[in-house]
Amino acid sequence: MNGLIEAIGVSRTYDLGETRICALKEINLSIARGEFVAITGPSGSGKSTLLHLIGSIEQPTTGAILIDGENTGRMSQRALSRLRLHKIGFVFQHFYLLATLTAYENIELPMKEARLSRALRRDRVQELLVAVGLEDRGRHRPHQLSGGEQQRVAIARALANDPPTILADEPTGELDTRTGSAIIDLLTKINQEYGKTIVVVSHDLEIARRAKRVIELRDGAIVDVLY
Ligand SMILES: Nc1ncnc2c1ncn2[C@@H]1O[C@H](COP(=O)(O)OP(=O)(O)O)[C@@H](O)[C@H]1O
Ligand SMILES: [Mg+2]
């Protein structure tokens, strides 16, 4: 195995009082640079947990996650923050834009964290607004945007520091079929034209059809891999 993202014998348990929940059991997975992978499975099967582990938002209970050959379990907090800022962009079902900031400022935020100069930030935000089809919406705040537009802003924000990988958890879950379809088109473009590796968790059959590989989870284990 020599993927961009690797899970080696990954398990994740949660202890709630007396009960132990095994959210993931001994997952082995290798995702190559430039792949478009869909993760499907019923509610509670461990999809979000797997995405959070890949994105280093959470750590496995046992096993290892390797990003670009580096074991994230051995990284310092500082190195992990850097990894999340530069190597991974996250897109969520509920968008999670900051309500008080404009679309422009939401997209700019990760660049500020990365200490990019104002001039570079401006050029890059403009470029991203065009890329997601919102060049005339930069001054809008989230409540002045439709759901689909908010998700486009969230995707632009995920791309802010040009990470090689985009992780998306049910990105069309809040959207009607047509708007969702346009978001899938955008993710496909980001994969094909920008060469980003994309891992999408979804129930959406259209996403599964569009992905190069579909990984099906059930009860925390991979039950099927479809190419
Ligand atoms: N922070 C947590 N604390 C306790 N249990 C959790 C936590 N996160 C997830 N779980 C449990 O782990 C299992 C997998 O959850 P999740 O990864 O969210 O599934 P999915 O995204 O496929 O719906 C579920 O049984 C869920 O209740
Ligand atoms: Mg989930």
Q: How many percent of the chain have pLDDT more than 90? A: 93
Confidence of residue 227 (pLDDT cuts 50, 70, 90): low
- The 10s digit of each residue's pLDDT in 161-208 is 999 999 999 999 999 999 999 999 999 999 999 999 999 999 888 888
Residue 204's pLDDT is what?
A: 81
The residues, any chain, with a CB within 8 Å of residue 190's CB and separated by 6 or more, are 155, 159, 166, 196, 198
Q: Whose CA is nearest to atom 4 of ligand 1?
A: 14
DSSP readout, 106-141?
HHHHHHHHTT--HHHHHHHHHHHHHHTT-TT-TT--
Q: In terms of C-beta distances under 8 Å and separation of at least 24 residues, what long-range contacts does 138-141 make, across chains too?
A: 138/102, 138/103, 138/104, 139/102, 139/103, 139/104, 140/102, 140/103, 141/99, 141/100, 141/101, 141/102, 141/103
Q: Is 96 in the pocket of ligand 1 (CB under 6 A)?
A: no
Domains of the chain from N-terminus onward: 5-226 (3.40.50.300)
Cα 59 from Cα 55, distance rounded (Å): 9
- The 10s digit of each residue's pLDDT in 3-53 is 899 999 999 999 999 999 999 999 999 999 999 999 999 999 999 999 999
3-state secondary structure of 41: coil
Confidence of residue 209 (pLDDT cuts 50, 70, 90): confident
Q: Whose CA is nearest to atom 6 of ligand 1?
A: 14
Of the listed ranges 2-11, 86-95, 165-174, 218-227, the one predicted with least confidence: 218-227
Q: Is 16 in the pocket of ligand 1 (CB under 6 A)?
A: yes
The residues, any chain, with a CB within 8 Å of residue 167's CB and separated by 6 or more, are 51, 54, 55, 88, 89, 90, 91, 198, 199, 200
Q: To which residue do tokens 């994230």 refer?
A: 72
Cα 137 from Cα 130, distance rounded (Å): 10
Q: Is 46 in the pocket of ligand 1 (CB under 6 A)?
A: yes
Q: Which atom of ligand 1 is nearest to the CA of 16?
A: 4
Residue 2's pLDDT is what?
A: 64
Residue 12's pLDDT is what?
A: 98
Please give the single-letter amino acid code of residue 96. Answer: Y
